[in-house]
Amino acid sequence: MRAEIDTVYRQHARRVFSTLVRLLGSFELAEEALHDAFLAAAEQWPAQGLPANPVAWLVSAGRFRAIDRLRRERRFAAWDDTLAETLADPAPGPEQLAEAQHEIPDDRLRLVFTCCHPSLSEAARIALTLREVCGLGTEAIAAAFLLPTPTLAQRIVRAKAKIAAARIPYEVPGPSELPQRLASVLRVVYLVFNEGHAALDGALADEAIRLARLLLQLMQPEPPAEARGLLALLLLSDARRAARRGADGALVPLEQQDRRRWDAALIAEGCTLAEAALRQRGFGPFALQAAIAAVHAEAGSAEATDWPQIVGLYDVLLRLEPTPVVALNRAVAVAMRDGPEAGLALLRPLLPQLAGYPAAPAAAADLCRRAGHLDEARQHYRAAVALARQSPERRHLAIQLAALGG
């Protein structure tokens, strides 16, 4: 039975937690209730057997134990009105608990929108989502983002306090708010993936993909185009994971990767999702980035890549999202289509706007190297090495700089 309980915990703990947050109105109370519910399961399931609906059983057990705990302690959290209504219902005994096997709603989407509320800082949204939706430990999140654990823990505490003080509603926004709020949620998932992708951290990338899949599942029957586009983009990017690191641990650029090591199943799924997203109304930057990734994924070699199509997609993306980063990526695509000098003409004016962004001097260095401007290439490589946050990227850049000599 211990193995069955462990399996239920892995598969359903965050779903149970999400519903307990809705019922109890507090992250802290829900966390305690979740712990108590699994203690109750460890005590009762070996004798009674696995319930027909373990999720409903755990939600009921956690809620009833929370009520008992609050009554015993005679104390209330900041949400007295909500808890007063909860406490008005008598906590049932074991017989009633055993009968509470009704189907319960999946509240994880509510929790995602709460953790990604725009009134929270972007850093807080990321930390809170990983902690409360994914269930990652504070130490693991801090290590992934190269932060001291106390700093990350305080960030999470402050975010929860703000949710409580501002009475941020625990709900999926209505139709008028949904597009703007969904954009905030998708950006959090994208940033989590980017962090893992840049650090070659498979665990963090996996969590982001799991979140993107969860969003798509919970927004059925017709998920928004951008939710499909984001999952497509993550899958197509992650398909290259096995080929992105060399034997020495350094980053391997896209054009040098062994494409036989790319994951064909992820590419097929990602391309299907990207096509579906572009056929929907309301597609946006994630769907377009997924389409660009699909063109790369379907090319048999770097030389066979359809660069005119990629430039055309970047033209559309730049109109939707006129940022220096998109302009930088378009400049690199133009360089691949028309030659490095054409790309440099577009890229050089962008560098002052992208100070502090390591991909900018790295791209400039690569194009200067291809164009034969070796002194300028060395200068940009040094800047990129100084800015790189992750060791695989830094090692790759240092190797490129050393290869130029001088």
Of residues 127, 112, 114, 287, the one with CA closest to residue 191: 127
pLDDT of residue 97: 44
pLDDT tens per residue, range 325-367: 999 999 999 999 999 999 999 999 999 999 989 999 999 999 9
Which residue has 């211990």 as its token pair?
2
- The interaxial angle of helices 178-198 and 225-238, nearest 10 deg, is 0
Query: Averaged over 54-83, what is the pLDDT?
Result: 75
pLDDT of residue 89: 52
**Are 117 and 149 in contact, with CB atoms under 8 Å apart?**
no
What region does 135 belong to: left with phi over 0, alpha with psi -120 to 50, or beta?
A: left
**Are 126 and 192 in contact, with CB atoms under 8 Å apart?**
yes
pLDDT at 322 over 80: yes
Using omega within 30 degrees of 0 as the cis cutoff, is the peptide bond preceding 221 cis?
yes
* Phi, psi of 25, deg, nearest 5: 75, 20
The pLDDT-based confidence of 103 (bands split at 50, 70, 90) is: low
10 Å CB burial of residue 203 (0-12, 13-18, 19+) is exposed
Q: Each residue of 206-243: b (16+ CB within 10 Å) or e?
A: bbbbebbebbbebbeeebbbbbbbbbbbbbbbbbbbeb
Q: Which amino acid is at 44?
A: Q
Query: Averaged over 107-114, what is the pLDDT?
Result: 90
Q: Say what percent of the chain tops pLDDT 90.
A: 63
Q: Would you say the pTM of this structure is higher than 0.85? A: no
pLDDT of residue 246: 84
pLDDT tens per residue, range 239-261: 999 999 888 777 899 999 999 99
pLDDT tens per residue, range 144-163: 787 899 999 999 999 999 99
Domains and CATH numbers, the chain: 2-99 (1.10.1740), 334-406 (1.25.40)
Give start and end residues of each alpha helix (H) in 172-224. Answer: 178-198, 202-218
DSSP 317-370: HHHHS--HHHHHHHHHHHHHHH-HHHHHHHHGGGGGGGTT-THHHHHHHHHHHH
CA-based Rg of the chain, rounded to a whole angstrom? 25
- Three-state DSSP class for 251? strand
- Three-state DSSP class for 245? strand
**Are 41 and 8 in contact, with CB atoms under 8 Å apart?**
yes
- Three-state DSSP class for 133? helix
The pLDDT-based confidence of 87 (bands split at 50, 70, 90) is: low
* Phi, psi of 144, deg, nearest 5: -65, -35
pLDDT tens per residue, range 193-229: 988 887 777 888 998 999 999 999 888 888 999 999 9
Query: Averaged over 19-38, what is the pLDDT?
Result: 92
Query: Averaged over 79-83, what is the pLDDT?
Result: 50
pLDDT of residue 75: 54
pLDDT of residue 101: 43
**Are 236 and 193 in contact, with CB atoms under 8 Å apart?**
no
Name the residue with higher pLDDT: 117 or 201: 117
- Three-state DSSP class for 48? helix
